[in-house]
Structure 1
Amino acid sequence: MQQHTVRIWDLPTRLFHWSLAAAVVALVVTAKLGGSAMQWHLRLGYVVLALLAFRLLWGFVGGRWSRFASFLYAPARLLPYLRGRGQPQVDEVGHSPLGALSVFALLAALALQVASGLASDDEISFTGPLAQYLSGLWVGRATWYHADVGQYLLYALVGLHVLAIAFYALVRRRAIVRPMLTGDKALPQAVPPSRDDGASRARAAVLLALCALAAWWVSRLDAGGF
């Protein structure tokens, strides 16, 4: 069968994916180390905040297969896919219906973890910049969620994500990791590629810079803002 090599994941999406993975690992390590490492934990939280804000924007203006519209599946598409009666010619191009659920769940869980961290106060060495604007009740709830709920939810979701990748790679014999490294995917049919040229990458760089500036502004709130 003839294979078509198609650019599915644009460079900004790939860089976001691996940068977020590295930042999350570093966040876990610094949280477990505690002490002075918590300052790095806070800084990495701002990095993840900027990355998540970028991905939100890129989900509307990024490459074709990175846009939320390309993998926002209705339940009517998800259920047949889970029963093995999906549409492989469509479902397996970018994120599959099940993969899309994983992506949205991870992004939502990370957003909640970052938001709760920014509003937390462990009364020892860590106070988020948003804590000063909230009542003690909400700061307590944010601290509880961040330390006792959110991190374990993330562990579970990341574990399921890794297991799904292993299942597709080892059982279904489908390349999952390589396309996120090279951007290209070998498909049995030709599909429109994601735009991944200089102009697109420049737009991504501007968006990321704006998101980084917004994250820096949030980090300065406990110092009175700009």
Structure 2
Amino acid sequence: MATLELIGFGSTGWGALLLLAALVTLCVTASALAIGAVLGAIIAAAKLSGKTSLVAIGNVYTTVFRGVPELLIIYLIYFGGSSAVTSIGKAMGYEGFLGLPSFLAGALAVGIISGAYQAEVFRGAYLAISKGELEAANAIGMNRGLRFRRVIIPQVLRFAIPGLGNVWQLSLKDSALISVTGLAELMRTSQVAAGSTRQYFLFFIVGGILYLVLTSLSDRIFNGAERRANRSMPTAAMGKA
């Protein structure tokens, strides 16, 4: 009974805080995925441009942010960003420390990491587009902008969905590292609850279960999106046959 009270929604229970922390985790991950999508699209375009300097920049970005430990990047963004904000504050006459908000620092850090992976997803998706479709678009007189909107973007998104699902899962797990900044996401709240009640096994198991729920629901959403995107594609149906 004591266990149920601890994870319940009563006055002594941590259930509501854990669910709120799970929502914070989702918000951080969604923000990071959006930031990563913008960065990933830019880097993918650079790597596909054929220009030596842009390709080199893209390669450096993906190599660094896929090779450096995620926790180190979070520390650099959080503490480095706080130092930069403090310096700006002092230049404007404000005395004292100005910390970068934990949510913003976490979303930026995970988003930068996510962008390195999304760049490769988008690049691979573009290369998977049938050359015949691009040639057909040129043949009927589509200009570059129309071809980009009507042919390239829909096809890239269709091919990228499975990879983006993997990047989402990676970012969801990386969000646990943001607990070092003090943000009350799922991992941090599980740690606080465990420390306050001395029920470490219980709350870390509950936290793990909530992560599994989030990842399972995410899988279903991305699988549904992939089926919907391929529904009207005869080539996809032929490939599965």
| TM-score, with structure 1 as normaliser | 0.32
Greater helix share, structure number: 2
